Amino acid sequence: FAPLSLLAPLGGVAVVVNALMTRFGCVCGIKERLSFLEWLATFLVMCGVALVAFSGPGGDTQVVLADLPAQFSQPAFLAFLIPAMVLVCFALFLFPPCRCAEIKLAVRLRPAQGTPTRSALSGFTAATCGAFSVLALKISLFTIIEFAAGRIAYPPPLSILCFLVLATCAPLQLYLLNLSLAAGKATFCIPLYLSLLMLFISFFGGVLFYEFGSLMRDPYPLYLCLYIAGCLLA
């Protein structure tokens, strides 16, 4: 599997596609003018993607199922996981998929429709769910391959948990992203979502799979600096 820290910034391509589609009205009912600064930002994103593709981690990422419990119990990952779970629960409290589950407190706390706060909150939460979906998909696919090859007799408990996370977070991110798009401009919501998704997936790749080690190759620190610059641009 390709490194997560390489794949994540390449999502900047979607930012460029989104900008072009919204500018030229490729999606029915959506056509937004881009300012000079927005065109400049689109060009910089393209440059960032090119830098990441050139300097990012190379080779396949080897997943060892037996090592995953220890990797997932690292303090850095738990420090991200716990606030992320609280954020998702809070977002579902404010924006329940089923209107019959609404309570008065949620209605009072909910940001008004069309406000940047509502768009940013739902977009941030959608990116969080999206990052966990990508992580769960990577581990789930590797588990299926290992099981089909006969190298494991049955999926370990963590892999089963990843199947459940994928089944939950994948549709949830679409629901939250739709809320974000309904509350704000596509040229704001999509880049916000993709930028946060890139950041979170890169974090997972570095913390869980130690993918940043290859950036230390000679001539040091050229590739590290190029990768960081590319991530910032993308």
- Given the structure tokens 């391509």, which residue do they identify? 13
Q: Tell me the pLDDT tens digit for each residue of 184-213.
A: 877 778 778 877 887 788 788 878 877 777
Task: Quote the pTM value.
Answer: 0.76
Q: What is the pLDDT of residue 27?
A: 55
- Residues 15-73: pLDDT tens digits? 666 666 666 666 555 566 667 776 777 677 777 766 766 666 655 556 678 888 888 99
Phi and psi, residue 7, nearest 5°: -70, -35
83: left (phi over 0), alpha (psi -120 to 50) or beta: alpha
d(CA 6, CA 81): 22
> 27 forms bridges with which residues in the sheet?
30
Q: How confident is the model at residue 227 (pLDDT cuts 50, 70, 90)?
A: confident
Taking all residues of the chain, what is their mean pLDDT, rounded to a whole number?
79
| Tokens coding 76 | 């850095």
In the chain, the percentage of residues whose pLDDT exceeds 70 is 73
pLDDT at 23: 64
CB 201 within 8 A of CB 135: yes
Per-residue CA distances from 77 to 107, 131, 148, 167, 200 (Å): 32, 13, 29, 21, 11
In terms of pLDDT, which residue wins out, 172 or 220?
Answer: 172
pLDDT at 5: 56
- Inform me whether the pLDDT recorded for 129 exceeds 60: yes
- The span from the CA of 187 to the CA of 62, in Å, is 36
- Residue whose tokens read 């689109």: 42
H or E segment and range at residue 23? helix 12-24
Whole-angstrom distance, CA of residue 159 vs CA of residue 140: 6
pLDDT tens digits for 94-113?
998 876 667 888 888 888 88
